[in-house]
A and B are shown apart, each in its own frame.
Chain A
Amino acid sequence: MNIDKLSKKAKWIRSRALEMCINAGKGHLGGAFSCTEILVALYYGGILNISPLSKNNSDRDRLIFSKGHAMLALYVILGDLGFFDAKELEAYGKNGTMLGDHPDHMIPGIEIASGSLGHGLSVACGLALSAKMNNKNFLTVAILGDAECNEGSVWEAATFGCNSKLNNLVAVVDNNRIGATDFTENFSGSMPMENKWQAFGWQTVKIDGHSFRDILSGFERAKQSTDRPTAIIAETIKGKGISFMENKSNWHHGAPKGELAIKARQELADGDKNGN
């Protein structure tokens, strides 16, 4: 897909995620919308070598979605690509749905159960290491939130990934600068995110996380690394795409209702045409 089509797809993904959220009366739209372009680039922009046909192939690329709460956009993408029947998306939030508020490994296309933060990068390290041990060329990508990086285990994994020279591993930090209740600088300090990863020996690439050109070139650089993993620090806006959610710490979780639901739908309306 070219960048224009990717942009349309991202808008459509957001509109579908919004409908899931309104339909269910719940969901983490803020974090889903900050990483929407990243996910669209991975799945539609030719970064990840994975499809419903190859979802069990041992050579497939792996996406470890560590910030599991932000799964709404990912669910829409997996349904759209046919990893599972897109009708399942309508059941989100209903009794008996296979789509939980956090993704589990039994959902086609989901690699690991996530939701408890700080787990994904370690598992991604193990997968990337297994690729090296088995002489396989697949890429492992982990998507983390910036507030998730408060977890000490993230830095255990960062140490391990560097020491193991996992150049087949990419950590994308969705740096939307807001946690569940507050701006991260108020509880994590103001040290730039890329400085931390550099200090742990990673190649870092700072990008605009809503620019497809930036995302695609960031992964190009990551794939060229010969001796170390790459952290793509994606500067993003929480709630991107809906004006009253953007960069607001009170839109970590929750569904817009009434006038807000109408306004949100209007702002994403152009995307409600299958995104192609």
Chain B
Amino acid sequence: METKNYTDLRDAFFEELYLLASADSNVVLIYGDQGAQTFKKFQQTIPGQIINGGIAEQNLIGVAAGLALGGKKVFVHAIAPFITLRCYEQIKVDLGLMGLPVTLVGIGAGYSYGDAGPTHHAVQDLSILRAISGMTIFNASDTVSLSRFVKIAYGNIKGPVYIRFDKDSPSQIYTEKESFCAGLAKIRSGKDIIIISTGLMVHRALAVADKLNSLGIDAGVIDVYRIKPLNSVLLAEVLAGCQRIVALEEHSPIGGLGSLISEFICDSGLSTVSLKRIALEDSDCFTYGTREYVHTRIGLDKDTLVARIREWLVL
């Protein structure tokens, strides 16, 4: 499938959505007073398909549910914590219980909005949305994956979807050949350890794996870009033979990727596998500065991660 080359995550999402909306008048974008470059195109050419619902996330979800009941394919956009935690019960009742095909589009995964402080950090959203039955969750690590998630959400999924992406624009990991139907991808093979990550931290995982390789540790990387449903069959396949696994995420240690992988190991009976979970502390971050600065302060920078993993490997 042909996809444009995007450098900006927001462009990757909303340009692709715009193309779908231009071809299908049932596509509606409703947002909570949150801008993106592409919105102008919507407003100029298909103004009936874009709605600023204001800072009222509970209502956005309910309206989206009503539109979906009226046959619309609805995408709801706001900063990630606000379109998830703020209106969680609406997501449960109005979307989850009724299995309505509404896609939540959250910008600002993890510490994307670092300087904005913990009110704007999205570090519990995966935990709580995983608990919504029938929810599909995508976490983008680059523009190629994100631009495909739009189409997958539009075309293939019956129930609610959450697509989460960074405010910053990372380099590309994938080529356009990737279909993103599998739910996860082995980005790099490794025999000694495999680092499983998601979203922006996949890039960090690759940098860490590079460094470990240079130190004689054969480290692989897996990107779990679809958090729910986890493709546990494929994950078991790509982990076959590896006894040391690191789960790396920029998210609460409770309920996120590390929890997911713990549950997978437990449910799969992989009792001989050792898992090291590296996530945020179970505390709120009041450290202000660039993402790199914050990561260095909390031990998620490349060098500290390499040291933490090496220390764990020695044990």
Contact = CB atoms under 8 A, between A and B. Distances in A.
Given A126-B67, A159-B56, A153 B93 contact: no
Contact of B62 (A123, A134, A159, A164): A123
B206 to A, nearest CB: 42
Nearest to B66: A126
Contacts of B70: 58, 126-127, 129-131, 133-134
Q: For chain B, what secondary structure do more than half of its interface residues adopt (helix, strand, loop), or is it mixed? A: helix
Contacts of A153: 56, 58-59, 62, 90
Interface in B38-97: 48, 51, 53-54, 56, 58-59, 61-72, 89-90, 93-94, 97
A268 to B, nearest CB: 33
A126 B63 contact: yes
B98 interface: yes
B48 A123 contact: no
A152 B58 contact: yes
Contact of B54 (A124, A130, A160): A160
Contact of B59 (A122, A128, A133): A122
Q: For chain A, what secondary structure do more than half of its interface residues adopt (helix, strand, loop), or is it mixed? A: helix
A111 B71 CA distance: 14
Contacts of A120: 62
B28 interface: yes
Contact of B69 (A116, A130, A157): A130
B59 A130 contact: no
A131 B67 CA distance: 9
B89 A122 contact: no
B79 to A, nearest CB: 17
Given A122-B61, A123-B62, A113 B97 contact: yes
B48 A133 contact: yes
A119 B67 contact: no
A16 B65 CA distance: 33
B66 A127 contact: yes
Nearest to A105: B98
Nearest to B96: A113
Contacts of A62: 69
B93 A129 contact: no
A131 B53 CA distance: 17
B33 to A, nearest CB: 12
Contacts of A124: 66
B72 A156 contact: no
A126 B97 contact: no
B46 to A, nearest CB: 11
A121 B71 contact: no
Interface in A122-179: 122-131, 133-134, 152-153, 156-157, 159-160, 163-164
Contacts of B51: 129, 164
Contacts of B53: 160
User: Which of A111, A112, A120: most chain B Cβ within 10 A?
Assistant: A112
A126 B98 contact: no
Contact of A122 (B63, B68, B98): B63
A214 interface: no
B54 A129 contact: no
A20 B258 CA distance: 49
A19 to B, nearest CB: 29
Nearest to B74: A126
B254 to A, nearest CB: 25
A126 B70 CA distance: 8
Interface in A38-74: 58, 62
Contacts of B90: 119, 122, 153
A123 B97 contact: no
Contacts of A130: 66-67, 69-72
Given A112-B98, A122-B90, A123-B94, 18 more contacts: A62-B69, A104-B97, A105-B98, A113-B93, A113-B97, A113-B98, A116-B93, A121-B62, A122-B61, A122-B63, A123-B66, A129-B67, A130-B66, A133-B48, A156-B58, A156-B59, A159-B56, A160-B59
The list of the 9 closest CB pairs from A to B, nearest first, reads A126-B66, A122-B62, A130-B70, A156-B59, A156-B56, A126-B63, A127-B66, A153-B58, A123-B66
23 contacts: A105-B97, A111-B69, A113-B97, A122-B94, A123-B62, A125-B62, A126-B68, A127-B67, A127-B70, A130-B67, A130-B69, A130-B72, A133-B28, A133-B48, A133-B67, A133-B70, A156-B56, A157-B59, A159-B56, A160-B54, A160-B56, A160-B63, A163-B54
